[in-house]
Structure 1
Amino acid sequence: MVPAEYQGLWRRSGIWRSNGSSDLSTQVWWFQAQRYHIDLRIPVDRIGINGFAGDTVVEGERCTWHPAIAYPALSSELDAGWMRFDDADHVHETGLDNSYEEDWYREPSGPMHGLRLEDPHSDQLAYLLISDDWLAWACGSPSGACEITVYRLEQQQWIAIGSNLTATTQAITLSKKDVLQWQANDLVEVPTKPGTTWRVSAEGQV
């Protein structure tokens, strides 16, 4: 399991690369539960959007992300960094090859819960990470591009505030209390993907 200090919602304040370039404007959301993550990165001009979802492994100060689905596609490159917590709400990441430095700050979210879902009739996978005020959804095939959307709770509805989808994403209603009752192998429907029945993976909620 991922240590408690990693869990929650993180926003990136900036990245500085060894080639001299930097980026302080791209919106980045890193949702982290006990096992699963969803990461979405949207540049100001929306050119080069990318994101991914899957498992996170922490070994000492090393954090490695193992995406199962991604946008625009899965990469064969290792995604890992050395993590230094400056305090409980700020963490500094250094690439294993020293090719970049990233600063992250914690967005207040409360406990983050994560589920992995499977389509019983195809190779489609989905990840749902939810807290009191934030929700992230990612779904797609490991062999293709996935969709990723970030929501915030406003007046009892989840409002999309970031997505790799070009079409307007409708507000949805989903009870965190109901989600927390889902168990491994349950068949469930999620309003983020109407008309699809998902099976909660054998790991259940982590």
Structure 2
Amino acid sequence: MTLQDLLAHAQRTETGVPDWMLGFFKRRSISFANGETDSSTHVCWFQSRNFTIDLRLPLAQSQPPPRTWGDYSADELAVLANHEGWEALSEWDGEKLRWHSDTSLQLHNRWPEPALLQRIGNCMIEFAPTGAYVEDWRLQPSRPGPLIGLRLIDERDVKTGELRHSGGGLIVCGDYAALVLGRAEELTGTSLREEVAKATGDAQRLDRLFNFETSVASGSIQDGYRISLSTNAARIGEALLPLDGFEYLSDQRQVVQRLVVDGIRCERRFVIDTIEPQLGYEQATGFTPQAQAWYASESPTLTRYTEPHF
């Protein structure tokens, strides 16, 4: 069964976030209470009905190239240790979005505040309740397409039964998809930066610390998704995952995917969050009649320089 074949067995959950929060948002900027703004960091937010995938990376020229773990310098490892990627359950109360039960590259929660959210057009604004920052997120343009949210239980070597990854998830939303593969083992320590600094030159320990992936890709459910951003630089340009090998388990709330990874036959088990064949991913949120009349009346100046921003 292919990824697209899953759509024949639609399973929309009745819980979760509203439609306007679904899809792939990229951060346009974050402004802090001290008056400073960052509009350069790559920050991606994928939202399924009940869970989120998040990726935060420096610009490409600041990212170390792929190397064997023993060949990275201490400075390069310090950059890698500040990458962020995670998956977490999300809960919306009509005003705030909160996250819990995360699978994260970092060993501590860097973003502990819930999100106060409002969306107008393709712009979703997130306020930190403490007033520490405000973030401007933009829904990325996509053709109408599926929404698939699968939370990863684990990935195992089929031959040996060895656990390769635990926790994570896959979100497919129209022209985009994101994947998180958690570490096989739970790590101790308060900071990934500290643990990585202590492991410099220890390839085996570094391999365990970075046994994690968050990748963002674009494409289609018919032809596949190609990775453009990833915590694992070696994965850039590769297919996010094979499109086939899926099978429903007997309870119809879980699926498995059988695939080959680096020459090893593996099995990934997922629990279904939602499988929806078609969403619009509309850029507009609409006007009230009064607002539409105002916009039309004042359009000579309101639309003087307007253009889409993503």
Q: TM-score w.r.t. structure 2 length?
A: 0.57
Q: How does 1:1-206 map to 2 (within 5 A)?
A: 1-44=16-59, 45-46=62-63, 47=79, 48-75=82-109, 78-85=112-119, 87-109=120-142, 110=144, 111-119=146-154, 122=163, 124-141=166-183, 143-144=186-187, 146-153=212-219, 156-169=223-236, 170-172=238-240, 174-175=242-243, 183-189=252-258, 195-201=265-271, 204-206=272-274
Q: Deviations over 1:51-91 (max 9, x none)?
A: 21021111122111225211233428624121122x14111
Could you say if the C-alpha distance between residues 113 and 186 of structure 1 is closer, same or farther in structure 2, counting changes exceeding 3 Å?
Answer: closer
Higher RCO, 1 or 2 (CA under 8 Å, sep at least 6)? 2
Residue 185 (structure 1) shift: 3.3
Q: What is the SS of the residue equivalent to 1:98?
A: coil
1:191 is displaced (CA, Å) by: 6.3
* Partner SS, residue 60 of structure 1: coil
Residue identity (%): 24
Are the equivalent residues in 2 in contact too, given 1:172–1:192 (CA < 8 A)? no
In structure 1, how many angstroms separate the alpha carbons of the residues matched to 2:39 and 2:268? Answer: 37
Pairwise CA RMSD:
2.9
Larger relative strand fraction: 1
User: How has the CA–CA distance of structure 1 residues 191 and 20 changed in structure 2, closer, same or farther, with 3 Å as cutoff?
Assistant: farther
| Closer/same/farther in 2, CA of residues 112 and 60 from structure 1, 3 Å limit | same
> CA-to-partner distance for each residue in 1:105-160, whole Å, 9 max, x for gaps?
11123443210121276471120001232110001137345310111117924211
More helix per residue: 2
2:229 alignment partner AA? G
TM-score normalised according to structure 1 size? 0.83
Give the Cα–Cα distance (whole angstroms) in 2 for the partners of residues 108 and 67 of structure 1. 30
* Bigger mean CA deviation after superposition, 64-73 or 96-105: 64-73
Q: In the superposition, relative to structure 1, how do residues 76 and 153 fare at CA in structure 2: closer, same or farther (>3 Å)?
A: closer
2-side partners of 1:151 and 1:7: how far apart? 16
Greater shift in the superposed pair: 23-32 or 13-22: 13-22
2:256, 2:17 → 1: CA distance?
A: 26
Aligned residues: 202
SS of the counterpart of 1:5?
Answer: helix
Is the partner of 1:52 in helix, strand or coil? strand
Structure 1: 5+ residue runs without aligned partners?
Answer: none
Which protein shows a greater Rg?
A: 2
Say which SS state the counterpart of residue 114 (structure 2) adopts. Answer: strand
Match of 2:297 in 1: none
Question: In the superposition, relative to structure 1, how do residues 34 and 70 fare at CA in structure 2: closer, same or farther (>3 Å)?
Answer: same
